[in-house]
Structure formats: C-alpha cells, structure tokens
Amino acid sequence: MKLITVNSNKSTTIGGVEGLIRFIQSLDIDYKMIELFFSIGTKEVYQENKNIDYIDYSIKNHSGLLSKLGLKINQIRKIKSCSAGDGAVIILFHPNDLLYMPVSILKSSKIILVQTNRFDIFFKPFSKIIMALVKKYINYVTVYTKKDKAVLTEMYPDLGKKIKVIPRGCRIQSCETVRTCSKKLVTVARIDEDQKDFTAMLDIFSRLPKGYSLDIYGGGSAEEIASLQEKVGKVPGVQFKGEVSDDLPKVLQQYSVFLMTSRYEGFGQTLIEARSQGLPIVVFDNFDALSFIVENGFNGFAIQNNDRHEFSRKILELCENEHIYMNMTRNALSKAQETNLDLVNSLWKEIL
C-alpha cells in the first residue's frame, strides 16, 4: 500500500504542515511513503528520511503563467507516475489540489483532506467551486477541533461522518516541572510579517517597563529576516535569535511567557509546544482552534484582535503576580495532555 502526501513545500523545511507530514511519515504503519512537493521554501533544516521517496514536481526555467500551468501539468503527471490510484492513501493539505487529481485516481484512492488554516483562509471562492465539484470523492476531512467540525458541517452537511477531529500532536515531550516567574518573553514563528505581525509584537513590547526582554526565534526568507532585524534593532530589549536549535524544550525552558501576535493561524503548533514546557501564552484571539489550546484566564490570555494595550497589560499581570503566574504554568502542563502524541497517533491510524 502507498501513502502519498502532496504539499507545496518539502517536509525537510520549517512549517506546521511540513511538521505534520514528518509526523505522518513517522507513524508505525506498513505503507510505502511518497512525498510530492515543488519547493524547498527558504532552506532545508531537517534530514531526508531514507524511507521516503521525495518527488519534486517543480518546473525549471519558466516564469509567469507558463510556469504555473506547467507546474500543475507536472503535478498530474507525477501523481500518475507513482501509480497513486491503485488503492493508495493520498493526503492533501489544500482543497485546490483536488483539481489536479485525475478522476480515475480520485475514484480508486482514499483521499484525505487536512485542515491547515482557518476556514475563511482555507476555502477561498475558487476552492469552494472545487469542493462543489469533487468533494464526493473525499473519504475524510481532518479538522483541528470540535468547533471546526461544527463549522465545516454547516458549510458542507453532506460530508457528515467523513469529518474527523484530529488535533496536531505536540512533537516534544512535556516538561515535568513548572516554569519560574520572570520577565523573559519569547516567540517562535516563521518569519513572515504579513501573517505573524511582528510590528504589533514590537509595539506591545515597547509599552512594557524596563527589565523585560523578548527573544524572537524563527526562519524565513532573507528579505523577511533583514526587515525584522531592522525593526528589532530599534527596540531595546528585543533580540532576533534565528532558527531554533534541535533542542526546542531546552530553549523554551529559558523563558516565562510565550507571545503570538499573528493576524491568522490554522492551529498554532508553536503554542502547544510552548504549553508543553509550562509556558503561559498571551495571544490575539483570531482563529477558531485557539480556544482549544488557550483557555482564557486558565493557561494564558486570549486578547481581542489587535488590542495592543490589553495585550501588554496581560503580560504585566502575568509577570508581576507570582500567584497568577504559578497557577497558569501548572495549568499549561495540565492542558498539554490534550495533544499527547500517543493519542494523536491512534486517531491518525484509525483513518489510514
């Protein structure tokens, strides 16, 4: 049996979807694993898995419309060439990719569509047209939370029992000890200003009194990193640390509070990693899965979108009140059990 993933970026790069693909590839299942991709993003960080066939369907030496057309034609060819239709399991991370699956393959394969963003981002108008045409071929749609399942059921009632709630699993082991209250703040994110809104984060930090520090970890394009470094250089107390080392738990355990100012997210993988190390979280409340990860006032604070004053006020409330802080760090570790890898493993194996 073959298991085929189709995604824009190779799974050896940084990203939530890329991490999920690596997780699926690591499952203890008897499948031949094939990965289709057309980009390595900015940089390969992880080693290739020797048990995976990596197939690059990118088009070289073309640009514009010709390149896009050639890319999609090549995607169809590669799907056919790896005999995807012979009872294979095909996992897609964007509804538009359904359009580039030959009908013969859609009919003879198990098709799994994975939610990778808030539904208003995930289902653009063109994606909705595609869903109307080919959703009957989908065997399962995985969503982050019960709330997402309710939203998707309302959008597509006929998907019914095909919708399965499978949260992202935390890829690092939970810490056994609570954090200590300090003024050391941290974020880990792909460096992408349009989505992550580091401008807001720096403005929020600038409202805090002296004595606070903020370290920003992440990778991205050279242009994005250069832009961020220029902004960081103007705000005392903030440092850009680059990509996280392999020992993420050790890095996170140096800090007390995790920040996220994204304009939108799908699930927020870094948030469950932060809470696994006992870090309370302060985040803008602008994606459905957040309520599953951060229970407002319990293991962090979910702030009304772009209310920067309230965001900075809640950081102060956490870091200046040890009683509040210690309750939240304990609660963070308690909630971390909801994304235990063994639980998520079993949910994936049920549908594969």
> Which among 69, 68, 37 is positioned nearest to 55, based on CA atoms?
37
Q: In Å, how far are 76, 259, 272 from 311, measured between CA atoms?
A: 47, 9, 20
Per-residue tens of pLDDT for the chain, all 352 residues: 899 999 999 999 888 899 899 999 999 999 999 999 998 876 788 899 999 999 999 887 656 777 788 888 999 999 988 876 678 999 999 999 999 999 999 999 999 999 999 899 999 999 999 999 999 999 999 999 999 999 999 999 999 999 999 998 888 889 989 999 999 999 999 999 999 999 999 999 999 999 999 999 998 889 999 999 999 999 999 999 998 866 899 999 999 999 999 998 988 889 999 999 999 999 999 988 899 999 999 999 999 999 999 999 999 999 999 999 999 999 999 999 888 888 899 999 999 9
SS3 288: coil
Phi, psi of 94 (to 5 degrees): -150, 130
Here the tokens at position 120 are: 């208003």
SS3 259: strand
- Order across the sheet with 213-217: list the strands: 238-242, 213-217, 184-188, 257-260, 281-284, 300-303
The shares of helix, strand and coil residues in the chain, as percent rounded to the nearest 5, are 45, 20, 40
Q: How many CB atoms lie within 10 A of CB 138?
A: 20
Question: What is the DSSP code (8-state) at residue 296?
Answer: B
> Which among 194, 168, 218 is positioned nearest to 16, based on CA atoms?
168
Q: How many residues does the chain have?
A: 352
Here the tokens at position 206 are: 């600038």
Please report, for the chain, how many H helices and E strands are present, in that order.
Answer: 15, 13
Q: β-strand 110-114 against 52-56: which pairing, if any?
A: unpaired
Residue 215's pLDDT is 98
Phi, psi of 299 (to 5 degrees): -125, 15
Handedness of CA 8, 13, 18, 24 (dihedral sign): positive
SS3 37: strand
Do 170 and 341 form a contact (C-beta atoms < 8 A)? yes
Q: Which helix (H) or strand (E) element contains residue 328?
A: helix 322-335
Predicted structure pTM score: 0.81
Residue 84's pLDDT is 64
Domains of the chain: 2-166 (3.40.50.2000), 184-338 (3.40.50.2000)
Do 118 and 287 form a contact (C-beta atoms < 8 A)? yes
- Rounded to 10 deg, the angle between the 198-206 and 222-232 helix axes is 10
Do 84 and 77 form a contact (C-beta atoms < 8 A)? no
